Amino acid sequence: MLVAGGSKGLANGLFRVAARAGARCLLSSRVVAIDPAADRVGLALADGGRVEARAVVSTLDPRATFGTLLGRHAGPELRAAAERWELEPAGSFLAHFGIRGEVDGDDAVVRVVGFQSAEQVSEHFAACAAGRLPARPAGHVTVTTRHDPLQASPGPFGPLHTLRLETLAPLHHPDGPWDRLRIPYRERCWELACSSVAGLGEAERLFSFADSPRDLERRFCTAGNGSLRHGSLDAGQTLASRPHPSCPDGRTPIDGVFLGGGATHPGVPGTLGGGYHAAAAVSAGLGLARWWPDPGAWPESAQRRPPCREPKTR
């Protein structure tokens, strides 16, 4: 999913809507404990302050929510689930580029690049999980301005485009700190993008920057091992088991405490599915009127598929 103008615009938009509705927004206020009471849920802050609310939504992973913040209030079953919660063993290396020039007009939002076979995919993942750097970058690339022109400034100096390439990489670079080796690896990602996107090699590169898995882990408390998923998507941590069977659709067994984010179903933060479920759960739990419509099924045109070919018989 792409957010028009960039994902930061979504966060800023939510902030403005909340403030306009009378919400008090506390930025950079670290919560150290969640204390459920009879009719209110208390949040203890690191600076000694306290906030109380009828409902609290945690978008952290289960280790933080159940194991640290709720503590004994989570109960033995949820605390045990938090201890068993597994993170992905490797994270994302994100490379961003801004260019002047025309590139391939393919309408694909995501193009998988660098892999020639399923075996290469498995080898790439296995190397990163073992802490090794794959022989070459491979992953997926998006020409974001093909779908969101707001991510390039309009004017007479174009055409201008921005691109994003993501590849799996180990949390720690095997040859030294990512802080020193981030730029050389970003250049290898640029070479991969140029070999995969027609016209990119002839374009003028205006800027580039990258985040290693270590950068992501340091910046976001939910990006353990540099992964943006808040937890691995193995069989025991998906669907109704994400994060635990007693916590379906954003609800928990603890009154007033709800879950959102990538540690809940469907497990991919970029879909916003965790927040959608949490909003519905809070409204139902507090007896509030739900004012937003149900997204419903895909339109009929999107559900059409070419007819299956009859298998050949001998």
Instruction: Reply yes or no on whether the pLDDT at 268 is more than 60.
Output: yes
Residues 224-246 pLDDT 10s? 999 988 889 888 888 888 999 99
pLDDT at 176 over 60: yes
Residue 301 inside a domain? The answer is no
CATH number of the CATH domain containing 238:
3.50.50.60
Q: Which of 52, 126, 59 is nearest to 275 (CA)?
A: 59
- Please tell me whether residues 213 and 173 are part of one structural domain: yes
Distance from C-alpha of 242 to C-alpha of 269, rounded to nearest angstrom:
13
Q: pLDDT at residue 253 above 60?
A: yes
Residue 3 banded pLDDT, cuts 50, 70, 90: confident
Confirm whether 305 is domain-assigned. Answer: no
Averaged pLDDT for residues 2-15: 84
121 and 30 belong to one structural domain:
no
Whether 75 and 104 map to the same domain: the answer is no
Cα–Cα distance measured from residue 310 to residue 287, given in angstroms and rounded to the nearest whole number: 53
Domain boundary among 181, 199, 219: 219
Structure tokens at 1: 């999913």
pLDDT score, position 299: 57
The reported pLDDT for the residue numbered 63 is 93
**The two three-digit tokens of residue 236, written as one number:** 């025991």
Burial of 238 (0-12, 13-18, 19+ CB in 10 A): middle
- Distance separating the N- and C-terminal Cα atoms of the chain: 44
* 251 located within any domain: yes
Specify the number of domains making up the chain: 2
Q: Note whether 196 and 115 are same-domain residues.
A: yes
pLDDT digits (tens, 9 = 90+) for 99-111: 999 888 677 889 9
Peptide bond just before 266 cis, omega within 30 deg: yes
Q: Are residues 129 and 211 in the same domain?
A: yes
**Cβ neighbours for 84, distance < 8 A, ≥ 6 positions apart:** none
Query: Can you give the pLDDT at residue 284?
Result: 92
Question: What pLDDT score was predicted for residue 193?
Answer: 95
Confidence band for 312, pLDDT divided at 50, 70 and 90: very low
Last residue of a domain, one of 186, 219, 252: 219
CA gyration radius, the chain: 22
CA-CA distance, 16 to 22, in Å (whole number)? Answer: 10
What are the backbone angles phi and psi of residue 144, rounded to the nearest 5°?
Answer: -65, -35
Contacts of 180 (CB under 8 A, 6+ apart): none
Residues 198 and 251 in one domain: no
| Range of the structural domain that residue 74 is part of | 7-87+229-286
pLDDT band at 9 (very low <50, low <70, confident <90, very high): confident
Report residue 35 as tokens.
């204390």
User: Are 68 and 118 contained in the same domain?
Assistant: no
Identify whether 35 is part of a domain. yes
- Whether residue 313 is predicted with pLDDT greater than 50 in this model: the reply is no
Residue 311 falls within a domain, yes or no?
no
pLDDT at residue number 251: 92
Asked if the structure places residue 39 within a domain, the reply is yes
Same domain, 169 and 156: yes
Average pLDDT of the residues of the chain: 88
Q: Are residues 36 and 82 in the same domain?
A: yes
Per-residue confidence band for 291, with pLDDT thresholds at 50, 70 and 90:
confident
Task: Encode pLDDT of 130-163 as tens digits.
Answer: 999 999 999 999 999 988 888 888 778 878 999 9
Same structural domain, 163 and 51: no
Q: Show which of 219, 238, 264 is a domain's final residue.
A: 219
Of 185 and 103, more confident: 185
Q: Using alpha carbons, list the distances in angstroms from residue 97 to 100, 185, 189, 219.
A: 10, 13, 10, 20
> Which tokens go with 282?
């809070």
**Looking at per-residue confidence, does 149 or 314 come out higher?**
149
Residue 73 has pLDDT above 70, yes or no: yes
Q: Model confidence at 7, in pLDDT bands (50, 70, 90)?
A: confident
